[in-house]
A and B are shown apart, each in its own frame.
Chain A
Amino acid sequence: MADQEFDAQLARMFAEHPPFPDQAAFARRVEARLDRGWGLRRMVIGVLGLGGGLVAAGQGLGGNLIGRLLSASHASVNVAQQTASSAPDVLALLGQSWGLRFPSVGIEVIWLVLGLLAVAAALLATRALEEF
């Protein structure tokens, strides 16, 4: 038998394999392990996120972050009030030019909106990471 012919025959024989009667059960075991791995990954991410959040909260409290934010906020309010007394309100000016009336808002509301935007961005980023 020629070597090349024998090689081809051997490769064909290796390509053939006995059918395993439990191939469906094997596939289910693979799927189950994939699901388990996926669930575990989500749990680890969740636990790490919670841990990170707790650490951040702890650091924030320990560093008197809220107090400093409040004082910064008050300082901003003072600056805004001084500016408003000496310069025309930008929002009011814009409103006038477009024929709209904006309610006057405090600096706390702006902080709140910025905070909500940050949370929304974080949620979007999490969702994007999950999808891609």
Chain B
Amino acid sequence: MGGPPGAQVAPTKPLTGLHDVELAQLAMTADRQAFGELARRHGSAVRALLRRMGADPTLADDLAQDAFLAAFEAITDFRGEGSFAGWVKRIAARLYIKRWRRRAELDPAPEGAEQADETGADGLTDRRLDLDQALKGLSGPERLYVSLCYGAGLSHTEAAEATGAPLGTVKSHVKRALEKLKRRMAADDAAPLPDPDEGRLAHG
């Protein structure tokens, strides 16, 4: 995406050729098509982050849409100092936290409970590191906080403020999550790649 941040919007260019900052400037003039282009560019990143935080695909899509609508309402707050995707990710993360807190109040789950790894211990078809699979081996809070800090770019303090949790709790969840992810990565690195022919039906 070429063009320096803060450059004047060139109306003759097609929207796909404009920089995020230029599109945001157009969106400030209520240009909804320009904002749609931003949603097309960064929708996947926001949806992926929400899924990594623990949202199911439907909720992730709904919250990502809500995040983009909220971003459009507050578009004048975006000054191009950071990336547009990072800005919307933070908005989306805060929306998810609201849901997560409400759900946690209604249905408090034990913090240490890890989610079931859908692939099982030896069910990985691809032994290369897969972040999405690795995150499934974390507990809900570990997954949330590590995604907030590494995916949405929040500091530990910001994550604590956003979730209302004590700073120490956030730090310990992130620390445990990192240890588990590191172990998982080391195990995946050590494991040999599967034989591509393994498991195929023999012909002839």
Q: What residues make up the interface of A, taking CB atoms closer than 8 Å to B?
A: 1, 6-7, 10-11, 13-14, 17-20, 23-24, 26-31, 33-35, 37-38
Contacts and interface: CB of A to CB of B under 8 A. Distances in A.
B150 A17 contact: no
20 contacts: A7-B178, A10-B150, A14-B52, A14-B150, A14-B151, A17-B49, A18-B44, A23-B43, A23-B44, A26-B39, A26-B44, A26-B61, A26-B64, A27-B43, A28-B36, A30-B35, A30-B39, A30-B65, A34-B69, A35-B32
B76 to A, nearest CB: 11
B72 A34 contact: yes
A3 to B, nearest CB: 8
* Size range of the chain B interface in the assembly: 20 to 34
Contacts of A28: 36
A38 B27 CA distance: 13
Contacts of A14: 49, 52, 131, 147, 150-151
Interface string B63-104: 011001100100000000000000000000000000000000
Q: Which of A10, A14, A35, A38 has the most CB of B within 10 A?
A: A14
Q: Which of A11, A24, A29, A37 has the most CB of B within 10 A?
A: A29
Nearest to B62: A29
A48 B196 CA distance: 67
Given A14-B131, A38-B32, A33 B69 contact: yes
B33 interface: yes
B43 A37 contact: no
Nearest to B132: A18
B37 interface: yes
A27 B37 contact: yes
A18 B40 contact: no
Contacts of B30: 38
Contacts of A7: 150, 178
B59 interface: no
A19 B65 contact: no
B35 A20 contact: no
B65 A33 contact: yes
Contacts of A29: 65
Given A6-B178, A27-B43, A34 B35 contact: yes
B10 interface: no
Nearest to B47: A20
Nearest to A37: B69
A31 B47 contact: no
Contacts of A20: 43-44, 47-48
Given A26-B39, A27-B36, A18 B182 contact: no
A46 to B, nearest CB: 17
Contacts of B72: 34
B186 interface: yes
Q: Which of A6, A19, A33, A34 has the most CB of B within 10 A?
A: A34
